[in-house]
């Protein structure tokens, strides 16, 4: 994909550079049309694929409505966990005033980039989404809900002693729980 993009843009650049040389006007105009046609087609292709893609390389903030749609509809299925996502997810229950939450925020941003297309990283502000916090019995933050594609989710809370250890903890949980084919509890 990247190679074809490069070839198309290189071709367009060559066509444009040919224009600056002493090439007759007719040929130059044909070349401009071809370059703009390629560029328009490529732009259309990229924008169509961006709209189709549901992967994000940064954490996504969820409301209750988003949670019911993307993760689990506990109103329709109050007694059974039925995960609705196409990828496993890690959900960070946080608050802006929470110091450990502020420590985890850049770590989760890194992990969202590193695991883009493999997992979703979601954030739920417990101040504005109190019902979601209550549904999951959140009593201390930060709290993290790991939701595999199959099987039951698992909840952890707190962070490690350093940001590096905290990132390592997240990676171990993501690799060992979310990305295993048959998930088991943490």
pLDDT tens for 56-92 read 789 999 999 999 999 999 999 999 999 999 999 999 9
| pLDDT score at 181 | 52
Q: How far is CA 139 from CA 52, 97, 143, in A?
A: 37, 15, 9
Count helices and strands in the chain by DSSP H and E runs: 6, 5
Q: Please, what is the angle between helix 99-114 and helix 163-173, to 10°?
A: 50
Q: What is the DSSP code string of 77-115?
A: -SSS-----SS-EEEEEE-TT-HHHHHHHHHHHHHHHHT
Burial of 3 (0-12, 13-18, 19+ CB in 10 A): exposed
Cα–Cα dist 100/162, whole Å: 10
Where does the pLDDT of residue 186 fall: very low under 50, low under 70, confident under 90, or very high at 90 and above?
low
Catalytic residues: 98, 101
| pLDDT score at 170 | 97
Q: What is the CA radius of gyration of the chain?
A: 23
60-178 homologous superfamily? Glutaredoxin (3.40.30.10)
Mean pLDDT, to the nearest integer, of 150-171? 96
Where does the pLDDT of residue 3 fall: very low under 50, low under 70, confident under 90, or very high at 90 and above?
very low
Looking at the chain, the whole-number percentage of residues with pLDDT higher than 90 is: 65
pLDDT tens for 122-150 read 999 999 999 999 999 999 999 999 999 99
């Amino acid at each position: 994909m990247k190679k074809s993009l490069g070839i198309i843009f290189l071709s367009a650049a060559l066509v444009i550079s040919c224009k600056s040389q002493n090439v007759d006007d007719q040929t130059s105009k044909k070349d401009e049309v071809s370059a703009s046609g390629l560029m328009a087609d490529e732009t259309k292709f990229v924008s169509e694929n961006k709209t189709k893609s549901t992967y994000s390389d940064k954490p996504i903030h969820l409301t209750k409505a988003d949670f019911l749609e993307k993760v689990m509809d506990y109103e329709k299925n109050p007694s059974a966990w039925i995960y609705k996502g196409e990828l496993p997810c890690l959900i960070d229950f946080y608050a802006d005033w929470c110091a450990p939450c502020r420590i985890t925020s850049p770590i989760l941003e890194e992990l969202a980039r590193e695991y883009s297309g493999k997992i979703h990283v979601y954030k739920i502000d417990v101040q504005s989404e109190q019902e979601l916090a209550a549904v999951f019995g959140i009593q201390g933050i930060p709290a993290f809900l790991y939701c595999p594609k199959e099987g039951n989710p698992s909840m952890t809370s707190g962070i490690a002693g350093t940001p590096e250890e905290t990132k390592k903890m997240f990676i171990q949980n993501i690799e060992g729980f979310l990305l295993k084919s048959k998930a088991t509890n943490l």
